[in-house]
Structure 1
Amino acid sequence: MNTNIENLNQLPLNKIGKIKKIDCEECIKRRLLDMGLVKGTNIEPILVSPSKDPRAFLVRGTIIAIRKEDAKDIKIM
C-alpha cells in the first residue's frame, strides 16, 4: 500500500487498507465501531456514488456507505 495514504478518504478504489484509528466525535465513532470498523480491520473502497460522496466500503464481508466527511477521520495504514 502507498505510504502517503493516511485517511480512508484517500484510499483508491479496490485497494485494501487497515484501520489504525478513528478520530472523530464520540457519537459517530460509536456508530462506526458498531458497524465493525475497529482497529486492525481490513477495509476496501469498492463503489463511488455519482456525486462522489458517499463511497461504499467492504468491511468484514459487508458493504457500508461512508461519507467523505467521516472517512477523513478514519486513519489507515
Structure 2
Amino acid sequence: MTLRELRPGQSGVVVAMRCEGALRRRLLDMGLTRGTLVRLLRIAPLGDPLEIALMGYELSLRRADAGKIEIELISE
C-alpha cells in the first residue's frame, strides 16, 4: 500500500520508498524514513496535495510523491 491510498484519519508505518535522487534525499530529510509513523490528516479539495502528520509536525506532499512511499497500514 502507498501513502496516497490512505484515507483521512488512517495511519501507517513507512516501509520503503520507490524513488531516487533529489526527491529521495528531500523526503529522507523531512523525516520519511523506514519505521516512521505517519497519519493522513486531510486531502485538499481537488485531491492534491495531501497533508500528513509525522514526528510532531504536519507536512504537505504532492499526490505523485506520496505514491512512491510504501507503508504498512496500522489497524484503526
TM norm. shorter chain > 0.5: yes
**Residue 50 of structure 1, CA deviation:** 1.5
Candidates 31, 36, 59, aligned match of 1:41: 36
Amino acid at match of 2:33: V
TM-score after normalising by structure 1: 0.89
Q: Give yes or no for the alignment of 1:76 onto 2:71.
A: yes
> Shift in Å at residue 25 of structure 1?
2.7
Give the TM-score of the pair, scaled to structure 2: 0.90
The structure that is strand-richer by fraction is 2
Give the whole-Å Cα distance in 2 for the aligned partners of 1:11 and 1:50. 16
- Give the fraction of aligned pairs with identical amino acids, expressed as a percent: 33
Structure 2 gap ranges (5+): none
The runs of 5 or more residues in structure 1 that have no matched partner are 1-5
**Runs of 4+ residues deviating >6 angstroms:** none
* Aligned residues: CA RMSD: 0.7
